[in-house]
Structure 1
Amino acid sequence: MAEEKMEIKSISGFSEERLIDILEIEKKCFPKSWQYDDSKKYYKMMLEEKENIHIFAESGGIVAGYLLARPYNKAINEIYKHDTLLDKNKKGFSYLETIGVIKDFRGSGLASKMILKFIQESKKKGIIGFSVHARVVNKFNKKIKSLFPYNILKVRKIDGWFFGGNEPYEYIEFSI
């Protein structure tokens, strides 16, 4: 399935079709306990917020992956109580909130391609860096650090991240 031509694109604005795509990705990629209580309402709101960056990966009519990035300060205001070491006044940064690739497409470099597209779109908006809380168990922390080894600004280990089933995570900041 992963051999078909993959298209990575940035989409802005709300559409019912995109909302359905995101909800499918969330359902296929994340355990129920990690999903939002009202995912439909949450992602509709995320699609409507113009400053958010949405990256979709599609192959043969199948949406294989999705990435959501938000302005850093907006995202951080929502999660600060779970990570009080965050800088609440960081300027020019995005927060990579979620990235998911469905099982049949994992291991093909798709997440890396979506992140690179996200960076390309970020630069167009004048964004100078991004941060992420990256899982350790699935080695996403190592993968994303290997993409940008010379752009790492900060790495901080978190023993049990509230939004990740209390797994170990790393908070990582990058320049772009």
Structure 2
Amino acid sequence: MTDDALFTRVDQLLTTQLQGVLATQQHSHPYTSLMAFAHTPDLRYLVIATLRETQKHANLMRNAEVSFLVDNRTNAQIDYEQAVAISVIGHARAIPEADLGQFLAIYANKHPKLEDFINAPACSLLRIEVSSYRVISKFQAVEVLERWARRPVPRHRR
């Protein structure tokens, strides 16, 4: 599949799903949380919201590296052939004040029932800067979209 086709496939799944599973690290152990999310049209960021006094927020402040799983399974046998899962790899960070309005709008547009939650003083809106999307379909076929992967800058010899 071309990168453009894979981009479209990722965008469509992220658009149709409301929630995913955030994986963080609590010390040396994985910690998962079901989260509502939104994404930017360029797929560069996912947007999540959590209360500051939660374990997941504490984990994110200690280690920003995350994985976020989104899928369209129906919990039926047909899922082995038709379900698609996307494992998003990236870094979660606080949103700079200058960009906060834009990300709040993206999140609130997808989750209007959570508007009071995201505007609460105890809530923290975060963005996951995506380094790659791993798209799994037909149970074990894997495709990778790494449009924003951080690559080392080549060093030129003098």
User: Is TM (by shorter chain) over 0.5?
Assistant: no
Bigger helix share: 1
Structure exhibiting the larger radius of gyration computed from Cα positions: 2
Bigger strand share: 2
Q: Which has the higher contact order (CA 8 A, sep 6+)?
A: 2
| TM-score scaled by length of structure 2 | 0.29
